[in-house]
Amino acid sequence: MRNLNKGIVISNTTAITGSFSAIMVLTAATFTTLTSQDHTTNGAVTQSVAADYGTVPVGVMIYGSFTAITLSAGKVIAYI
């Protein structure tokens, strides 16, 4: 994990907690944990789970209010 101005690069399987507004995928990523509030699935607002995202391809930006991130593979930047 490396701190950037307003973001944290995550490239390992260490659990990260905090308050993040977006996640940019640098290399295809899968999540063990990805906790957010106000996630909409099939029209219902629920708390998201990592399985909701599957494998996220390079270049995708995920917006939301994230509080916990754990990768199982890949590399991302979590923006504060």
DSSP 60: -
Residue type, 74: G
Q: Answer whether 27's CB lies under 8 Å from 58's CB.
A: yes
Distance CA 15, CA 53 (A): 17
* Two structure tokens written together for 34: 């990805």
- Domain of 62 in residue numbering reads as 2-79
Task: Read off the pTM.
Answer: 0.80
Residue with tokens 């899968």: 30
pLDDT tens per residue, range 54-79? 889 999 998 888 889 999 999 999 99
In the prediction, which pLDDT does 15 show? Answer: 93
Number of domains within the chain: 1
DSSP 39: E
